Structure formats: C-alpha cells, structure tokens
Structure 1
Amino acid sequence: MRLTRVLQGLVWAWRVGRINRGHHLVLSIVSGTSLFLLLLSLTASPTPNLQRHGARHLAARRIQQQADDYTGSKITGNLDDAKLMSNDALATFQAGELLNHANLTNTGNRKTGIPFPDNTNPQDDQNPTGSHGPQKTDGAEAVLLNLPVLSQPVSSTRQRELALEIPRTISEKQQLVSAQERALAALQHGYRITEQQKTMLAHLSPHTRAALEKKSLKTRKEQDKAYIRHLRNKRQILPRKGGGEEIYSNPRMTVRFPVILKKLHPKEWEEQYAIYTNLTHHPWATSVECINYTITFYPPSSHSTRALASFPSSGNTWIRYLIEGATGIFTGSLYDDNSLTRKGLYGEGLKYDSGMTVAQKSHGYTTGDAMSLPHDQRLDKNHMAELSYQGIIVIRNPFKALISHRHLDVGGHTGYAPKAHFVGAGWASFVSLKIRLWQDFYLDWITRTKPDKIHITHYENLKTDPAGEMRKILAYLRIEPDEGRLSCLRKNTDGLFKRKPSKHVPLDSNPFTQELKDLVYEAIEKVNTALGQAGKEQLPLDRYEIYDPREAKVAKYLRKQRS
C-alpha cells in the first residue's frame, strides 16, 4: 500500500514538472515528492497502531500475571489433537471449570506446564517461565494439554476484597465462585495457594465444596482419557512382548503422570489408569550400548516400604537416579514433587506404600512444621514407622549439606542463594536449627532400628565410586548386580538436578564462624560415635571439606571443660 502511494506521488510530481518545463523541472519534482511524503506521514495507518496496541496488551498481560503470582510455563500443542476431547470435556472447560493460570504458584521448581513428548526439549528445564512470551491457547487445546485458560482473571487485589467481604451483587458472587473453583482445583492438582485463596475456600460450605471437588475430578478424568488417546496417536503406547501394552518413555519423551494416582492405592485405581503400571522408561536412550536397559515398576502391593532417607541437599535425587539405573526399578517418595515426575522419576507420582517402588524418599522431620517441635514430639514425624524401620540412609558432610540446603531454599534445585544469605543472624539461626535436626535425624535412624535393617551410604563415597557403592546397595536390597547396567551407570553418572558452578557464588566458600563450626563438630562427633557403636561404616572425615580435625579436638575439649 505504501509503495503504491509513493509511485502515485512521483507520477504526480513528474506531471507538475512537465507543466513548468525547463529549469523548474528538477525543483518541481523535489518539492512535489517532499509534499507527498509529508502528507503520507500525516495519514493514519491502522497497522502500526494495532501492533503497538498489541505490544502494550501483551506487556500488560505479563504484568497482571506477575501480580497474581503466576509462575507457569507457556506450552504449545497441536490444535488438531483437540479433536480427541469429548464434547462433555469441552463443554466443561468452556464453562470455566479449570484452573486460572494467573492464580497458581507451583510448589516445586516453579513449573506448571506439562509438555507433550514430541515437544519436550531438555533445555526447557532451564527456562521454566518460558522465553517466547504469552501464547494463545483455545479451550480445546488447553484441555488436551492440561492447561487452564486465562479467561477473565481476578486480580490479587480483587481476590483479597472478595475474600474479606460479603459479595453484594450477582457479578461479585460469580467472581467469588470462579475464584473459589480455581483455588480448589489448584489444591487438587498439587499447587500452593495464596492466603487469600485459603480465606475464600474457608467460606465454602461442605456441600458446595464437595460439589466443586466432584466437578473438578470429573474434568481431570476426561483429560486423562484424552491424554491416553494422544499417546496412542503418537505411538508411545506399544504392544508388550508378554501381552498387553506399555507406555514408552525416555528423557526426551517423558510422560505426564496422572496427579490423581498420588492419592490412591493401586487397588483403588480405575481401569483407565491400569496401563501406567506398565510404564517403561529408557534412561539411556541416546546410547547404543545402553538403549535396551529400562526402568519399570514392581507389580502393585508386591513389596514392603523401605526408606531412602537423608537430610535435605544430601544427594537424594541423584542417588535415586543411580539406584533406578542399577536396579531397573523406580523409586518412590513421601512427597509430591511433579518436577521430578516430569524428568522421569515416575515413582514420585505414586503413593509411598503402593508396593511398586524399590525405596521411598524421606527427609523426616527435617523439613515442614515438625522442625520447630521438641524432639519427643517430632519423633513420630521421622517416617520411620511408615517406612517399616528399614532402608538406605544417606549421609553427607553437614558443612556442605547446610550450604547446599541454603541454596535449595532460596534458589531451587539448580539456583543459588545470594551471598547475603550466608552471613549475619539469619544464617546463624539457620545453622543452629538445621545442624540439630541433622544430628537428631540420623541418630534416630541409627539407634532406633535394628542394624541389619538399615544400610549406611556416604555421599562422598558415592561421588568417588558410584558403581562400587551401588554394588553395596544391591547387596543390601538382595538384587543380583547386572554388570551391563553398572557399566552404563559408570558412563552416565550425572544426575537430573546438578547445580552448575557460579563465579558469583562459589560452592567452595566457607561461611561458618568458629561458633557455628563448634556446633557442627559436636553433631559430627555424636553421629560418628553412634555409627561405630552400631557396627556401621563411620563418617569419611578425611574427605570432608571445611572439617578441620585439630579444631574438632579443641572443640571437644572445650565442651568437656564446660560440662
């Protein structure tokens, strides 16, 4: 359009020049062209304005999402796959029954989207909030992708008003009901909700809440059915050699595990979920030598519970990866971290007592509300009874575990805490509380169980010789070692969550004052003594960073003098 106008202007200027002729020709062309360009610049053009308006709209939408604690990733999908949804599910979605992304805050590493296998990119995990800006998602696509739609979001300010006031108009009542539905669905799907959302849910009557929960559960089941059909179309559900079918998975083609299964024992599963017992994961699919090694579940209810217990930030997730690779059986958990499920640790999505996993992760009372309780009151929160008073106990140098735990609390699985978090009263309080929990946690497991029921593994030994330590764990589990698996494990020892070195926050720093060191030395001595009395391998103190044996002796001597 612009080019046509310019050409028309030049022709008009040339005609003016011909009328004037002679030396006025060039001057007339220049003046005519300038006049036309001036008029063109003053003419309204809808396209640029529309683009600028669209940019402002998208920017405003991002600001609104941030204001409402939105942390979900933007996931794209194939609109053609929307045909898989039933009319009932589409109608339910269009009625606004699903979550509003603008009001969700995830409990794991700040991800809420579930990628399809053919869209999965390992790099996506390094960019959980998305890098392509807001994307348009219609109702059908959002249902299939397990994504809620951003239809008429309620701002945080309005949520607070609705939570604290009695709605006076029909519109306010509708907004309140909509916000309550989103908050309730967020709880069902494992998301953390805000205090305002909790207040809104408190206004629900038992009858209304039960009705909303039933409606949300129906929608979830329709989504899960559609996803199974999607996997079949993508040929990720394959015939099994012994009969039946299995779901295929590898690190680049992970599967969305139904969140409903975390709350149900396998005996309570509906028929549509039975296929997940045959989920088969190929952890080393890119290696020609190791591609045929798989990880599967035990049959339901076939094994008793068994702990994989550790203080936080002691390598539990990495050791789960090693155990699964060495045994070929998934590990479970007493927690529900869907970021691990999306990376192939599918046992995370099952109940800890399903009998389908080889061991179950536990941090006992070292996290959560039980931390602040007296020891005699928090003892039953150590998960020892739930895990049959048996299991693999992982111990790491407490100096390094405390530093890593601080990074985890502030920066997530792969992030960092700023240096300011390792100085002052806040850091001192953190160390004082956590080192006592570290000590009590391990003393309980060592002294309150039978020695032959637990196996002690040291993180430092695993770092040095992972395959050798896996042999010891296999012997404890009474599983015959597979030399081929162990060979592949040596070639693929990296874990799923590995904090990369940072030049701004070096991992080899020593933020411990002498007073804090003395607290750690005392805890180390007590745990090491208990290990020796139980006939277990003692702490590899010669490999402990920051630990100084001379300082430890002086600290011990001073404690005796004070007592």
Structure 2
Amino acid sequence: MRKPIFLLVSAIVFLYFSVILFLLSPIHESGNVYYGNNYIGPLGLRLVPSVNWCKELHWRSPPLPYPVALVSYPGSGNTWLRYLLQQVTGVLTGSIYMDFGLKVHGFPAENVTDGSVLVVKTHEAPPLEPDKFKSAVLLIRNPRDAILADFNRLHKGHIGTAPKSAFKKRSRERKRTDWSAYVAIQLKTWETLHDLWLTKFPGTAYIVFYETLVKDTKNTLQGILNFLNYTFTENDMDCALTHKEGIYRRIKKLQDFDPFTQDMYRQIEIVKRRVINNIRKYRKMHNETDILELL
C-alpha cells in the first residue's frame, strides 16, 4: 500500500516542479532545438542562460518622476528592443506583465512600472489615468509579420514556429479555419491599438518602425535614446551592436506555403493605409518629418 502512495506523491511532486520550470523557461518549445551554444531539452528548458550583457544591469538613477511606455502590438519586437536598450544603457526595462521566463533570463524588472526603469512594456491601450505615462515609444511592425509572429509565439513560444497544421485547424462550429478567424480579429486589434495611442494618448509618442530597427539598428536606437534623454557613449553602442541578436529574436524559418490568402492581403493593405494616414496626421500635428519606413 505504501509503495503506490509513494509513487503517486513522487509523480505529483515531479509534475509540480516540471510546471514551475516550464514557466521559468523563456522558450516554451516542445521539440529539442539548439540556440546559441545552449541545449534546449524536451521541456523547452534553457539549461544555461546565454545573455552576455555589455554592463551590469541596474535601476535608473535618479528615477524619472513618471514611467515611459514601450508600446507595441504583440509580435512587433518589443522584447528584442528592450534587450537592445538594456545592452546600450545597462538600465533595466520594465513591463506591466509578469513573464517569469523573461524575469529569470535577462529582464528582472518584469512587472515594474515606475520611473526606476528605462521603459515599461505594454500591449494595451493608453491607460485611463492621465498621469500613468507622460510619454511613449510606439513600436510599429507590418501587421502581416506581427500577426504571424504572435501566432507562432502562441503555438511555439518566443522563438519557435507554428507547424503547418496549426494554420489549417478549424473548430467544429466554424466554417473557416481558426487561423483566418484569428487574422480577422487581430487585424482589428492591430489597427485599434495604434490608433488609440496616436489619437487618444495625451502625452508625446515617439514612433519607431520595427523594419527600420532591423535595417538601421544604430540610428534607430540613437533616436530612441535621444527621445528618452539618455546619454550613452560610442563604446556603449558598439557593444550593443556586437551583441544585438540576443536570444529573443525568432529564427526565420522558410515556409513552403503562404498562410495568408489574397483576401487577407487586401484587408491588411486597407488597414495599413488607415494607420499610415493617422501616423502622417500625428507627425504633421507635431511638426515632424513625414518619413514612413513602414512596410
């Protein structure tokens, strides 16, 4: 009698700690993959963190009297930009969320939302409290790529890629695939998020395009840091660029199919044009140069 009870208790304990370790992993990937020099096992657990920081991470001193938002639609490179900013400045970045995997792998200020951090990650609409954020960095990515990236994250974690079957799955009650329903909903979400920050946010928003951040990382980071009124050295920037890939960029995997239909592309273009018009209006209102690097 004791042996079955012992085995049951052991199984429960093992399951409990497996779940905890899974939550602490930055990559919830079911298969075995290699990333950097670190092996990722069957549970998706990174055995050795591979973040090499240019300088020891620290709180912003003195802290700002208010936090600065780092706003984006999910899948737009928010975590990668946080990583780059921490590399250049050594200052921690915060988040309105608590991602345990990020917390133990390079972002210990998860769930910190005050001026002691450089910026605060959010995927939400502007807060109702007018004093919550006085300014914001608005990171915008092509909706096609952002929606696809977030779909991959939902299925395979921070750097995984959703299998082909995930795009073809359909619920019994639905006539169309879950993927097509997802694209329709998320495209509206993508548009609404950006429009709210461009038209309803009372503070100043600095617009950054993910595509430009990839193509011209140095100048894009310089622009953000100037907006944040943060001084850095050329050595700081050089070190950050040397380590710019980090561990939180999804490795591009060539697919043998395009999950987007022609109708989806038409809807994406319509939404893009509307958001681009709002960006132009915002920049004209703030006497900024109308350069659209988007898409």
The answer (yes or no) to whether the contact 2:24–2:101 under 8 Å persists in 1 is no
Q: 1:129 aligns with which of 43, 55, 68?
A: 43
Matches within 5 A, 1:102-501: 106=23, 109=26, 123=38, 126-127=40-41, 129=43, 283-284=53-54, 293-299=55-61, 302-348=64-110, 350-353=111-114, 355-364=115-124, 382-383=126-127, 385=129, 387-423=132-168, 424-450=176-202, 453-501=204-252
The alignment covers a number of residue pairs equal to 269
Matches within 5 A, 1:475-554: 475-502=226-253, 506=254, 509-535=257-283, 537=290, 539-541=292-294, 544=295
Q: More strand by proportion, 1 or 2?
A: 2
Residues 507, 447 of structure 1: alpha-carbon distance in 2 compared, 3 angstrom cutoff = farther
- 1:512-560, CA deviations, whole angstroms, 9 ceiling, x for partnerless residues? 112212221111011100111111555425xx3xxxxxxxxxxxxxxxx
Q: Does 1:71 align with 2:27?
A: no
Look up the SS of the partner of 2:161 in the other structure. coil
The answer (yes or no) to whether the contact 1:460–1:540 under 8 Å persists in 2 is yes
The answer (yes or no) to whether the contact 1:72–1:129 under 8 Å persists in 2 is no
- AA aligned to 2:198 is I
Q: Distance in 2 between matches of 1:110 and 1:473?
A: 28
Q: Distance in 1 between matches of 2:228 and 2:128?
A: 18
Deviation at 1:387, TM superposition (A): 3.9
- AA aligned to 1:362 is T
2:32 corresponds to: none
- AA aligned to 2:184 is S
Matches within 5 A, 1:33-48: none
- 1:124-148, CA deviations, whole angstroms, 9 ceiling, x for partnerless residues? 6x237389xxxxxxxxxxxxxxxxx
Residues 64, 492 of structure 1: alpha-carbon distance in 2 compared, 3 angstrom cutoff = closer
The answer (yes or no) to whether the contact 1:411–1:417 under 8 Å persists in 2 is yes
- AA aligned to 1:346 is P
Q: Distance in 1 between matches of 2:208 and 2:128?
A: 18
- 1:174-222, CA deviations, whole angstroms, 9 ceiling, x for partnerless residues? xxxxxxxxxxxxxxxxxxxxxxxxxxxxxxxxxxxxxxxxxxxxxxxxx
Instruction: Calculate the aligned-residue CA RMSD, in Å.
Output: 3.4
Residues 462, 509 of structure 1: alpha-carbon distance in 2 compared, 3 angstrom cutoff = farther
Gaps of 5+ in 1: 1-56, 74-104, 112-120, 132-249, 255-281, 285-292, 365-380, 545-563
Structure with the greater relative contact order (CA < 8 A, sep ≥ 6): 1 or 2?
A: 2
Deviation at 1:329, TM superposition (A): 1.1
The answer (yes or no) to whether the contact 2:27–2:159 under 8 Å persists in 1 is no
Q: What's the TM-score, normalizing by structure 2?
A: 0.78
Deviation at 1:320, TM superposition (A): 0.2
Q: Distance in 1 between matches of 2:106 and 2:99?
A: 12
The higher radius of gyration belongs to 1
Q: Percent identity?
A: 26
Deviation at 1:457, TM superposition (A): 0.6
Look up the SS of the partner of 1:534 in the other structure. helix
Residues 523, 384 of structure 1: alpha-carbon distance in 2 compared, 3 angstrom cutoff = farther
The answer (yes or no) to whether the contact 1:392–1:457 under 8 Å persists in 2 is yes
Q: Distance in 2 between matches of 1:507 and 1:486?
A: 34
Q: More helix by proportion, 1 or 2?
A: 1
